[in-house]
Each structure stands twice: as C-alpha cells, then as structure tokens.
Structure 1
C-alpha cells in the first residue's frame, strides 16, 4: 500500500507484546474521560479538554470519519481486548507515517506506550508499506522521549516543527524508526 490515501479496514485488531490494540466502541465512551481528562493529556496532546462523555462521543465519531477518509487509525490499548488503558494512533501525514499515543494516568509505568508503538509500527511497515514511522515529541516531555527510546526510535536530524495548540506554543522533535 502506498502512502497515498486509500481505504482502511473497517475493523482492526492487532495483537503483540502482551497487548491487544482494538477499535474503540460505544461501550468505551464511559471509560474515555478517565483516560483523557487529565492535565498531562491536556498539556502534551491535542486531545480536547475538559474531556467528558460528550467529548468521548465526538472523538468516537471523528475516529470513524478519519478511518473512512483513509488517513488515520485510532485504537484502544488493552491487555486482553477488554478494558481500554489508552490510545494509539497511526496517521498518514505530510511529514510521514506518524504514530501518536496517550496512556491513562492510572495505567502508566507498565510499558504500555512503548509496546503499543512497536506493535503499531510493525503494522505500518507490513500493511502500509511504510519505510519509516515517526513520532513528533516535545523535548520537555520526558515520558514520551523515554517511550521513543524504549520503542527503538532515534532522534532525526530534521528541523523542529513549531506551532501553537490550546494557546500554548510548542516545538516538536521528530523521532524515526526505519523499516527493519
């Protein structure tokens, strides 16, 4: 599959590294605020804040729209396909095939993000034909920089990406993992 927009499967479930990455469902709406309505998520990610049940429903609708457009996959990070512990994203972006993630505050420190990133990167290489996957991170986000290293990514020598989100300026570094 090339990096140009093309259809994505209606349903996706990926397993590996002791995780099951699966589609978000209506049943997850009540769990999503506990994962995403947190100051760290509000600060470091573009996820809306406050994140309540209405925001969860909106995100679920947007997830399905992005999938239909063929640009983005958002999956719940789970241990066994049941309770969501966070989210992993795979997106076809102008900068490249990008992965993003957020782990609920109660589930941090278990290596979930790094494991989910490795599983999603393998999917991008195998199913999307990506030559490289990237993470765009703020250098000050020590937890995400640690995830990048644990997942095997390296800091790329490319210009930083600057912008503003939620009234806060940011500077993103690009980390890359090349096809094995």
Structure 2
C-alpha cells in the first residue's frame, strides 16, 4: 500500500524505519498526548514495525502508514479499520523537527481520501487529549466535527485527562472535497 501527495509518500513501515521511529516517539513533546511512554526503545520500535509491517491495510485492525518526505521518515498515520469494514479510527504522529510544515494535515487528508473515495468507508473517527490544541485544529481543518467531550475520562501518565471525540462522515467529506 503506497499513497502519495505532492510532497509526501505514505507507505508501510519497514525495519529500516525503526531507529527514526524510536527517536521521534522518545521525544517527550511528541509522546505528551499519546498512549506510549518516552523513551520508546529501539527494541519497542523494531517490534512495533515488525507487527504493523505484516498487517493488511484492507483487513480489520490497525495499519500504520509511514510519512516520508524526501526519503526521511517524519511521522506516521494509523488507521484502525473496524470489523464491519465500513468505519475506522485514525491517529497521527509527526516528529517535532518536522511539525509546522503541514505534513500531518497533508498525510491525514490523503489517507482520508483513500478511506472514503477508494475503500468506500462511511465514517472515520478520531480521539485526542483535550489539551492537544494542534490536533484539535488539524481535525477541525479537515472537516471533523467534535461529537463529544469526556471529562477526566483517561488515566494516563499519572493524571486524569479529558478526551475529545471527533467524527467525519463520507457525505461530509464529499461536500468539503467538492
């Protein structure tokens, strides 16, 4: 599975990506609102890359796209396809050094186009820590609607956090893509 944009290549993660993957996931600023702890070891990265590298992007479960710019791994986009094959969850991570260039927006937009226009999904959902303002802006910019706010819902990294729930329907996607 390989998707492209003007600046990006979205492709499967490979064993060669593990060191860069471990490096950006070890950054405390990158990990702050995510479900993993920093540091993220090379062994953890190798195992993760091995597991998701073998995944089928058309089968239910999680699939991870590497975000590559000029041959450099700058982040990843995860898609969790539901068992019904008609909806998915999405998540994304970009290395600190590569944030602020629109790569996350461009990558997620391309993955959404694939999910809605090629795969024919009905709905894509996303969830984020309410304090993650940049993620909220990205989702809103791409047409997601905030559908919920779960107060002190998740115990993570020694504190209770609020979760925001977002959704995007295929019909909404088509309306904004025209």
Q: Please give the TM-score of this superposition, normalised by the length of structure 2.
A: 0.82
Query: Which residue number corresponds to residue 83 of structure 1?
Result: 72
Q: Please give the TM-score of this superposition, normalised by the length of structure 1.
A: 0.81
Query: Which residue number corresponds to residue 114 of structure 2?
Result: 123
Query: Which residue number corresponds to residue 9 of structure 1?
Result: none
Kindly indicate whether residue 94 of structure 2 is the aligned counterpart of residue 103 of structure 1: yes
Query: How many equivalent residue pairs?
Result: 166
- Structure 2 stretches lacking a partner, 5+ long: none
Indicate the SS of the match to 2:160: strand
Structure 1 CA distance, aligned partners of 2:45 and 2:118?
Answer: 28
Query: Which residue number corresponds to residue 150 of structure 2?
Result: 160
Query: Which residue number corresponds to residue 92 of structure 1?
Result: 81
Kindly indicate whether residue 60 of structure 2 is the aligned counterpart of residue 63 of structure 1: no
Structure 2 CA distance, aligned partners of 1:40 and 1:15?
Answer: 27
- Structure 1 stretches lacking a partner, 5+ long: 1-11
Structure 2 CA distance, aligned partners of 1:48 and 1:126?
Answer: 35
